Chain A
Amino acid sequence: MRYPELERHAKLFGEYTELRVQENRISRIQILAGNVTNNETLAQGGVSARAFKNGVWGFASQPGSDDLSIARAVKLATENVRFLAGREKRGEAKLPARPGSGVHDLSTARTRVGQKGYMEFAKAIDARIAEKYPKLRSRFVAFSCLDMEKTVYVSDGGSSHSMTPRTFVYVDMTAESGADTVELGDIFGGRGQFEDVFSDPADLYAGIDAIYEQLMKKAEGVYPEAGLRDVVLGSDLAGILAHEAIGHTVEADLVLGGSVAADYLGKPVASELVTLVDYAHTALGKPCPIPVHVDDEGTEARDAVLIEKGILKGYLHNKETAGHFGHEPTGNARAYQFSDEPLVRMRNTAIVPGTSRLEDLIAGVDDGYYLLRPSNGQADSTSEFMFGVTLGYEIKKGKLGRGLRDTTISGVAFDMLKTVTALSDDMTWSCGGMCGKKQMIPVGMGGPAIRCKITIGGR
């Protein structure tokens, strides 16, 4: 629920201050091998205040959003910043401002079905898998929705109310393969509350059938040959590459902390075919998975072009890093819980589609791999990355071959992106991305398929 007139507490402010009232509401259901192993809701709400003085910050949070809690949070944040400023004895510092404002509420207008409806939906999916694929060794269905509702007021004039929901269903299957087992999962859903994302479980059946067919090929699959190979990365892998391997290295706080991107601004870091953007709220004319119109520092959020035609063009900023570099703030300051301070975070990071057809990308590989689905990913300040890959196929003479067992791919992103020879003309977003960096935060990751060279692990 929107907190009305948050600005009336501005009289409590003694320094530059951000005030945020927030509640996160989560529903989770898990069905493992037909057993409901989790059925829960979680709600965490409260108020936080963050104050800035002479180059340092003070932060405090309290559960609840009554006047007393708000006054206590502001008082503690102010005391904290004055303690630290007093010890550090730095000179006066100012933060740049581009205040944003607005109400961006993505709550559904439909009648809510509640946890009972979610459970019926999840059970229907589980029952369908059990009935159609009785030979599976195990199956797992998870339902999750997160509503993040924030009201922000900042002493430089920024203010906003947002309700950003995300709902998804994860389906995972395990099959026998000789004496071994193989596993494959996929995720469905995205931006919005349940009622706006899902209607009929049958809408997911084609996707579930696809997981099964892919799993059967994986069960008969092979381990890839280790080494530097020609590959086509599907859009999910392009998205995680954009996020992990490039996005993190150009977060300006990490640039200050030693990221290799500090040396590359204005220099070529990728093929001229590659343009990479962290979109604020709208990409290619459509709303993004995690739209951010005003960030948690009250800054109007704008797209951040990170790589343009192969040249590193910019970083992701909060107010403080924008001030340090003399750049415009991008609106990338985001916090997960009411008790978290805003950090420089990605929003919707994607490689922009190219002009080739996916079939032609594959046809152009004589001996390599088509890699589709990541399990997890990590990247380094050097832009060296690693992604687990759970779904892929051989490419032999331009045609798809046998399935692959689980593997990993790795490389140095600023080298590997120079090997890109084609990008497909379509693009998809992954719908369940969560990024970890002191706090977790939902993010969007997307891209087209890309053809490049990459190091693949084998046995």
Chain B
Amino acid sequence: MDKRETVEYALAAAKKAGADKAQALVTYSEKTELNVDAGRMSLLRTTGNVTLSVTAFRGGRKGAVTINKIDAASIDEAARNALALAATSEADDANDIAPAGAKREFDSGDSEPDLGAMYDRMAEFLAHAGAKHPIVKLEQCILDFTRNEKVFGNTNGAAFVDRLGAYEFTVMFTSKDGDKASSFNYSGGVFRKLDKPLAEWGALDELMRQSAEQTETDTVDGKFIGDLVITPHCMPEITEALKYVYLGNGTLIAGTSPWKDALGTRVASESFTLRSVPNSDRVHVADRFTADGFEAKDAAIIEKGVLKSFQLNLYGANKTGKPRAANSGDALVIDPGAEALASIIAGVERGILLCRFSGGQPSDNGDFSGVAKNSYLIEKGKIVRPISETMVAGNFTALLKNAIAVSKETVDFGHSSFPWIRFGGVTISGK
């Protein structure tokens, strides 16, 4: 069976087993990965896999089976098992599959890794880091090339193929100067080509420079209400909180989201615009179709402070009666502002440049607290020094309404793009 036939076979097997609706996804994946541990090349790893997910529906009941075999007998068994699982579920009218749409195929990136170039780029990075950042210790560097081919179909006739090849680079590092050590930090990105030095991916060079000066830190004095200037690297703390506390299936179905009735209303400062743009050239990897079988479209989540979209899938939308998201909620970009970062920092009377945040999971009401890592004290418009053992606490609902300024500079990670944002009214406490 070819790849499309495998999906069609799985759908037919589900129907034969008794499904009144079904969807199937086959993912072919090949990864080539070069590892550096403790500053030295350590491992070359190649993995191959094929996974099949069959989701079967019968009388509003749903069951799903994922295996990594695609012979006919294994597919038949997976389809039967999915039906058996569905029989144990509860009937729920919200369970459904996407309607038929245009059959779409997407193809991007290379189909094979350039292993020689991977090795050379990694060697170049190691030499660069050693020369420019001598006290930075590279705990682990991973450069991989992954080629995925996803083939999707459902019994309504929705069908997608997405072929994507991309290089991903992640680095974890710390600095050590005698017996003084910095906190670890990390960065990287995902891009379709190896056309620029790895030190430029995810602003790594700047983070390694910061790391070297973070071997000397001090806590802040006492407790005060101040500003946070959140860096692009730290911005996922906000986007993840939005997804899990405010916008996603879980809290909207449970009815606990603070924004459950906020669609179309102002939830953030006018300067804040968050979009999910899976079709934009600004991102190199994104889901081109959703897990429930819709083509992914670009859409604003918050536009000029107004909530434009939840991040509900088809089930969540049916369950809550609220609109379905136009995409998987990935490929996130926050629109840049007009002000330079230096000017934004110059406007801070007292606060923190928050470069990494180690925090507890935010509460259902959006409360958060945690430790400012790899961060800096700002006083009277100037970055004063690196800090340690400093905690920040606040509430995301209030924080977003206190977005004071957004930088014109951004960092592109390949999977997302974020600016620096200054927020006011956060509790900051030292030892």
List residues of A whose CB falls within 8 A of some B CB.
32-33, 35-46, 55-64, 76, 80-81, 83-84, 87-88, 115-116, 119-120, 137-138, 140, 174, 180-183, 226-228, 253-254, 256-260, 263, 339, 341, 375-376, 378, 380-382, 384, 386-390, 405-408, 410-412, 438, 455, 457-459
Contacts and interface: CB of A to CB of B under 8 A. Distances in A.
A138 B90 contact: no
Interface stretch (B64-72, B290-298, B401-409): B64-72
Contacts of A119: 88-89
A35 B90 contact: yes
A434 B241 CA distance: 21
Contacts of B358: 378, 380, 386, 410
21 contacts: A32-B254, A36-B89, A39-B88, A41-B85, A43-B67, A45-B68, A59-B45, A80-B44, A116-B84, A174-B256, A174-B364, A256-B38, A341-B45, A381-B139, A381-B183, A382-B174, A384-B373, A386-B371, A389-B360, A457-B391, A458-B429
A63 B41 contact: no
Given A39-B88, A83-B44, 15 more contacts: A39-B86, A44-B67, A88-B40, A115-B84, A116-B88, A226-B223, A226-B393, A258-B174, A376-B361, A386-B360, A405-B367, A406-B360, A408-B370, A410-B391, A457-B369
Contact of B181 (A87, A258, A406, A459): A258
Contacts of B68: 43-46, 63
B308 interface: no
B46 A60 contact: yes
A258 B137 contact: yes
B119 interface: yes
A406 B370 CA distance: 11
Given A84-B44, A182-B364, A40 B140 contact: no
Interface stretch (B47-55, B153-161, B200-208, B275-283): B47-55
Contacts of A388: 359-361, 370
Interface in B146-184: 172-176, 179, 181-184
Contacts of A376: 360-361
B69 A64 contact: yes
Contact of A457 (B94, B373, B393): B393
A138 B254 contact: yes
The 8 A-B pairs with the shortest beta carbon distances in the complex, nearest first, are A388-B360, A257-B139, A138-B254, A258-B137, A256-B38, A258-B174, A40-B64, A457-B369
B41 to A, nearest CB: 5
B265 interface: no
A375 B369 CA distance: 12
A40 B54 CA distance: 10
Contacts of B85: 39-41, 115
A84 B43 contact: yes
A36 B90 contact: yes
B182 A382 contact: yes
Nearest to B34: A84
Contacts of B140: 257, 438
Contacts of B142: 438
B415 to A, nearest CB: 18
Contacts of A37: 249, 253, 315
A241 to B, nearest CB: 14
A76 B250 CA distance: 43
A218 to B, nearest CB: 10
B379 to A, nearest CB: 20
B81 A41 contact: yes
Main secondary structure of the interface of B (DSSP, over half): strand
Nearest to A253: B37
A63 B315 contact: no
A227 B430 CA distance: 7
B139 A406 contact: no
B249 A58 contact: no
Nearest to A23: B68
Interface string B229-255: 000000000000000000001100111
Contacts of A39: 62-64, 85-86, 88-89
Contacts of A83: 44, 115
A170 B84 CA distance: 24
Nearest to A72: B48
Contacts of A228: 431
Contacts of A59: 43-47
Contacts of B359: 386, 388, 408
B253 A35 contact: yes
A382 B431 contact: no
Contact of A408 (B50, B138, B255, B360): B360
Contact of A257 (B47, B81, B137): B137
A384 B92 CA distance: 47
Nearest to B45: A59
A155 B404 CA distance: 62
B212 to A, nearest CB: 12
A457 B175 contact: no
Contacts of A459: 367, 369, 393, 427
B114 interface: no
A137 B254 contact: yes
B92 to A, nearest CB: 6
B343 interface: no
A435 B69 CA distance: 28
A39 B81 CA distance: 11
Contact of B363 (A33, A88, A183, A382): A183
Contacts of B373: 380, 384
Interface string B315-341: 100010000000000000000000000
B365 interface: yes
Given A33-B254, A44-B51, A61-B48, A341 B360 contact: no
Contacts of A76: 46
A41 B183 contact: no
A263 B63 contact: no
